Amino acid sequence: MKEFNIALAGNPNVGKSTIFNALTGLKQHTGNWTGKTVEHCTGYYIYNDNRYTITDLPGTYSLSSFSREETVTRDSLVNGDFDCVLIVLDSCALKRNLKLTLQVLSLYDRAVICLNLFDEAKRSGLIIDHKKISESLGVPVVVSTATKKRGLTELKTACERVCCAEYNCTKTELVRKYSPFEDDSEIIKRIFEECVSSSGVNIVQKRTEMLDRMLTSKSTGIPIMLLMCAVLFWITAVGANYPSAWLSSIFEIIKEWLNYWAITLHFPSFVSGILIDGVYTTLSWVVAVMLPPMAIFFPLFSLIEDAGYLPRIAFNLDRFFAKCGAHGKQSLCMMMGIGCNACGVTGCRIIETKRERIISVLTNNFMPCNGRLPILIAVLMMYFAGEAFGFTASVKVALFLVLILVLCVLVTLLVSKLLSLTLVKGESSGFILELPPYRKPLILKTVGRSFLDRTVFVLGRAAIVAAPAGAVIWLCANVYAGDASLLKHCTDFLDPFGRFLGLDGVIIMAFILGFPANETVIPIILMSYTASGAMTDYSGYEQLFSVLSQNGWTATTAVCMIIMTVMHFPCSTTCLTIKKETGSRKWTFLAMAIPTVSGIILCAVTSHIMNIFI
């Protein structure tokens, strides 16, 4: 068996990842480039008894700029030992893609060109002569529609012919004339005019222009975005209730079974307590509370992403971030942060300059992640949605969540502006924002991929940190000093500070102990109020409301609880991610301090104002 190495190159949003996944299946590995924080994937496939290892290079528009992605791609092509470069092009945007194609061919003559999204090009009224493109560039050209797995066999065959030297790739006159560092737009124009014609019927473009008039308009773009967020939150809030209750019931039955066997096998009470009431209860709560909303939110978010709407959100928000000295791509990182702040921080890699990337990292935690949504939903449902916890209440909760999201965006913009004027000074940079055509998402494939890549991944990471946290929480509640537990001593000590913020010591301690996983905050509060020594679940909002009201909760407490839920230090997973991405303890500390100080100030001001008027 012979082994060959293939580099996969192309512009962003051309279907490069789809082709990579289709060729390699599950035979993939993800890591970081040496000395970089740019993520890369490698994988392999077997074809005609030969093994082909593919390295997915970062998507880039050019090799002549100096962003991290472009530097990595250029250095890999110059220094890498590849037998072939597979260049993926968007058939609907061929003229723009040809610039990178010619740059790559000027460095590497052993290449295969894949004209992806060929079916969309036809619907757009484009007639592409791929054989003539092959003659003009001197390399094989294959048409494909990767989402439908069309053209993959032909693509493998073309790569095999190039790798095995069965196809003689030669630099044509046009390629030899092209210079990667000069404006040779005439060469690109000549290739395009010779190889591409139009039938005059462009259905895709007309549809895109019609939708963009609504979704990117200054008058309707923001309202539609907020309405879509409201629908997304409503579906998440309503849909998560029932599976959460089912999972809680199942885990409670398992807990009773575990307790039965612990007694039967004469486990020491200390051991059974720390393992069952501590570790198991924490894990079960994290799964029961996190899994349903994530299993709903992430797939819906992925469907919106695949439909091509996220770049429109970035377009709508770009001018606001530009005025604050931040980068327009920060809005995309914010959207990722709604699902998981750790993912949002990782997503900041797409921002080219270090200064603007740091601003995005430091402010990402202002977006309420999936672990904090259950707390917000519970508090809103009990104190602001009315007495009946039905359809009307869920609509109110969704609207309140949108208002909270707007507040989070405003705070993000304000803090970004302050950072750009103080700690992270410098000039703002512009960026190229591609608005891809709207596409019909592949629902089953997108939902399945989102569940595995996002939901299961984030849940597993949260469970890893939640298990030891459960043991620590149980020890704090069951180890006594004098006549009170360590937890009681801590909550009493923090109570004056908590009262000053419109909260109490129990809530402050719950946030501190909830550092590994925000999902444990409410169970810790219940455990402290009921002095049960184990984290307590609640069977419904009525029961939870009763416990909280008996312990002095008011509307002021609820409002301050919402503020502190949104504005406090990131969870442990996010903090570790920030340290990894920035390589700095300073920025990690500031990422924890900035939202926490903001929350403390806002809680103190809000509670004192509400106490005056209520």
> Cα torsion at 364, 368, 372, 375 (round to 10°)?
150
pLDDT value, residue 590: 94
User: Which one-letter DSSP state was computed for residue 4?
Assistant: E
Q: What is the 3-state secondary structure (H, E, C) of 550-589?
A: HCCCCHHHHHHHHHHHHCCCCCHHHHHHHHHHHCCHHHHH
pLDDT value, residue 65: 61
The pTM score is 0.73
- Among 208, 216, 415, 435, CA closest to 317: 216
User: If 0-12 CB within 10 Å is exposed, 13-18 middle and 19+ buried, where does residue 163 land?
Assistant: buried
pLDDT value, residue 35: 41
Give CA–CA dist 374/545, Å, rounded: 15
Average pLDDT over residues 198-211: 73
Handedness of CA 392, 393, 394, 395 (dihedral sign): positive
For residues 299 and 289, the model is more confident at 299
> In 10 A of CB 111, how many CB atoms?
26
Provide the token pair at 343. 């993912």
Range 414-418, long-range pairs (CB < 8 A, 24+ positions): 414/324, 415/362, 415/363, 415/366, 415/594, 415/598, 416/321, 416/324, 416/325, 416/326, 416/330, 416/359, 416/363, 417/323, 417/324, 417/325, 417/326
pLDDT > 70? residue 32 = no
Q: How confident is the model at residue 411 (pLDDT cuts 50, 70, 90)?
A: very high
**CA dist 585 to 520, 567, 582, 589, Å?**
26, 20, 8, 6
Q: What angle do CA 362, 366, 370 make, to 5 degrees?
A: 120
Give CA–CA dist 351/355, Å, rounded: 9
Cβ density class 185-222: b for 16+ within 10 Å, e for less = eebbeebbeebbeeeeebebeeebeebbeebbeeeebe
Strands 141-143 and 50-56: unpaired
Q: How confident is the model at residue 179 (pLDDT cuts 50, 70, 90)?
A: low
User: If 0-12 CB within 10 Å is exposed, 13-18 middle and 19+ buried, where does residue 228 land?
Assistant: middle
The string of DSSP codes covering 331-342 is HHHHHHHHH-HH
Spatial contact of 62 and 74, defined as CB atoms under 8 Å apart: no
Give CA–CA dist 298/238, Å, rounded: 15
Q: What percent of the chain has pLDDT over 90?
A: 21
Say which range, 114-118, 145-149, 254-258, 496-500, has the weakest mean pLDDT. Answer: 145-149
Give CA–CA dist 509/525, Å, rounded: 8
Q: How confident is the model at residue 387 (pLDDT cuts 50, 70, 90)?
A: low
Spatial contact of 439 and 308, defined as CB atoms under 8 Å apart: yes
Average pLDDT over residues 446-475: 73
pLDDT > 80? residue 386 = no
Give CA–CA dist 301/290, Å, rounded: 16
Q: What angle do CA 445, 449, 455 make, to 5 degrees?
A: 140
User: If 0-12 CB within 10 Å is exposed, 13-18 middle and 19+ buried, where does residue 131 land?
Assistant: exposed
pLDDT value, residue 67: 62
pLDDT value, residue 203: 66
pLDDT > 80? residue 254 = yes
Average pLDDT over residues 284-303: 77
Say which range, 105-109, 435-439, 535-539, has the weakest mean pLDDT. Answer: 535-539
Q: How confident is the model at residue 52 (pLDDT cuts 50, 70, 90)?
A: very high
The helix or strand, by DSSP H or E, that contains position 39, with its residue range, turns out to be: strand 39-47
Helix-, strand-, coil-residue percentages of the chain, each rounded to 5: 65, 10, 25
pLDDT > 50? residue 585 = yes
pLDDT value, residue 533: 62
Please report how many Cα atoms fall inside a 13 Å half-sphere around the Cα of residue 389, on the Cβ side: 17
Give CA–CA dist 9/101, Å, rounded: 9
Mean pLDDT over each residue of the chain, to the nearest integer: 82
